[in-house]
A and B are shown apart, each in its own frame.
Chain A
């Protein structure tokens, strides 16, 4: 068996062209009927999109990533990506909340190592539609999530305690449970990390900061001090480095890319409507803006292809249990390139849409407004900061031989 740079099984390529699943279509409706109408207020007041998350629970969207044998939807990554894109066309903050949640669920679902308690917890995630938030950032290591200062303390008898100063916790105040990274114990090195689950009632957030940002305002992501106590099984056996490489990083980049794709798609839709309007006003004459529209369409297609093909490749490798390729340097490079590319394209596409629509898009709260799209898009290069990813890629390219 040889490993090649484009190792994807035949069937997964064609899955990109399959029709959207029922769940994706449902989320398209949720985006139009619930998320979009609330988006202006969510953004204006930087408040949590509670009405949208309420409906996500009603349609069992929060259990989509839980394996079917544990009562969840068992959705492959490609479907999860499409869900996030669909929701993000209406409200990117809602889409990002869903994306972050799916990332936590998949990290648990793929690395429980057979632990019965973790599996039972996942069953509850599906049955109760529990929302999980991520606590990976930290004062000190900042955006480097592969290092921790906070360490797990063992409690005599049975259990753990943990105190961590996080610089940002997306929707931390609105989640049921938290998935926290920390050092395995007080004596070990910063990179020897574990994942720790804290359920509602087992943790408290204090010294909560403020979240008044340019975009993604509804994600409500201020920093906070987390104090948690729980049972031993809630400290995952699988080393976090392993979880990060195989699941958390690739899934994060794919699902964030999917959210950004939703932002870009929505901006492009507005541009299309504007150009069509101009064309109708002067039938027979192709509007000047049509040329710019073709460039935007090409960029959007590139972005969509990149997100979907990486999602499909990850699904195929996971289905084949190809840990070898999933943990390889060339795959890591591809996953990083996806993040870099998608984070740049979303801003470009949104700016292009602004140029095409003109003053009508520059105004807020008009049919063609792309202000919120642009502000939300600006978060893409900062979460994780692209400089950090470029630095990693520099190292990876020093050793990779192929292209």
Chain B
């Protein structure tokens, strides 16, 4: 986390040598995020069909649950969210969270 972040190069690494594996790398992250949400976000309804841009707060994720999600994500991906990223909008939706996790993975 304290290393200089080079999102450009690292994202290129995640996106790898072909467009196909690049898409699937992000998709893999998203799938794991979805699992974490399923286990910890205390959302009503089915997580599998949750659209990427749906507001998690409006579907039952309380502030307390969002903290549990943060911790679970840090454990799952072995990342740390810096204080600057501990904001409501970062955890607003599956898409937002996936973006944030990818950014941190890229900078590692």
- Which residues does A use to contact B, with CB under 8 Å? 2-3, 5, 146-147, 184, 188-192, 239, 241-242, 245, 324, 327-330, 392, 395-396, 398-402
Contacts and interface: CB of A to CB of B under 8 A. Distances in A.
Nearest to A397: B67
19 contacts: A184-B58, A189-B59, A191-B60, A191-B62, A192-B59, A239-B57, A239-B58, A327-B88, A328-B87, A329-B86, A330-B83, A330-B86, A398-B67, A399-B67, A399-B70, A400-B83, A400-B86, A401-B81, A402-B83
Contacts of A328: 83-84, 86-88
Interface in B28-61: 44, 57-61
**Which residue, of B61, B64, B88, has the highest number of chain A Cβ atoms within 10 A?**
B88
A3 B64 contact: no
**Which residue, of B62, B74, B80, has the highest number of chain A Cβ atoms within 10 A?**
B62
B20 interface: no
B83 A329 contact: yes
Nearest to A188: B58
A3 B81 CA distance: 14
B71 A399 contact: yes
Interface string B10-41: 00000000000000000000000000000000
Contact of A392 (B60, B64, B68): B64
A191 B81 CA distance: 25
B89 interface: yes
Contacts of B71: 398-399
A-side binding surface: helix, strand, loop or mixed? loop
B44 A3 contact: no
B82 interface: yes
A191 B67 contact: no
A190 B57 CA distance: 11
Contacts of B87: 324, 327-329
Contacts of A241: 57, 63
A146 B74 CA distance: 26
Given A245-B63, A324-B89, A330-B83, 4 more contacts: A191-B60, A191-B61, A327-B88, A330-B86
A2 B89 contact: no
B60 A189 contact: yes
A146 B88 contact: no
Contacts of B44: 189
A396 B80 contact: no
A327 B96 CA distance: 15
Contacts of A402: 83
Contacts of A189: 44, 58-60
A236 to B, nearest CB: 14
Contacts of A327: 87-89
Contacts of B88: 242, 245, 327-328
Contacts of A398: 67, 71
B87 to A, nearest CB: 5
A401 B82 contact: yes
Contacts of B63: 146, 241, 245, 392
B90 to A, nearest CB: 9
B64 to A, nearest CB: 6
Nearest to A147: B62
A245 B64 CA distance: 13
B81 A399 contact: yes
List the 9 closest pairs (A to B, CB-CB), nearest first.
A329-B86, A189-B60, A327-B88, A395-B67, A3-B84, A399-B70, A328-B87, A402-B83, A192-B58
Contacts of A146: 62-63
Given A189-B59, A239-B58, A401-B80, A395 B86 contact: no
Nearest to B67: A395
A242 B89 CA distance: 10
Nearest to A330: B83
